[in-house]
Amino acid sequence: MVVSHVLVGLGAWVVAARLGGTAPDALPGLAAAAAGALLPDIDHPSSWLGRRVWVVSKPLSRLIGHRGLTHSLLAVAGGLMLLDALRPGRMLAGLVEPLAVGYLSHLAMDALTPAGVPLLWPWRQRFGVALCSSGGAMEMLVVAAILAAAGWFVWR
């Protein structure tokens, strides 16, 4: 659910930035959080991102499947190590945190579904709480609650 993932990624970044004493409302940071929230589904050719970068998504899907490596803490750690090795300039370095928060928000949302996520991939154990199904009413309530929390952090 692209809209839910983007909204939760934005909300999570606003909350994380406020808690960390950073201004969360800069457009580049919000864009990075939204991108990070979509990035784990690059392994799914039918996802919003997968359809746009199918040249990456299709082979990745065949190789590791959906909700595999890209839905793990190993992917988060590997991505952060890669970004560190690339040593982005000052402007881009400021986008690493919102990108990571958005990415982690995606994993957290997927962990709320019955399928869960393989946080410790390649270990096959999936982690989750089976609170809601994708596209269901409970998903909308979770998204609304996260956005309400983000709104509270912005206006307080």
Residue 101: is it exposed, middle or buried by C-beta count within 10 angstroms (0-12/13-18/19+)? Answer: buried
**Section 11-27 average pLDDT:** 86
Q: How open is the CA angle 35-61-134, to the nearest 5 degrees?
A: 60
Domain ranges of the chain: 2-155
Owner of token pair 């659910």 = 1
pTM of the entire predicted model:
0.92
CA distances, 47 to each of 41, 66, 73, 117 (Å): 6, 10, 20, 17
pLDDT in tens, 71-130: 999 999 999 999 888 877 776 778 899 999 999 999 999 999 999 999 999 998 999 998
User: What local confidence, expressed as pLDDT, does residue 135 receive?
Assistant: 83
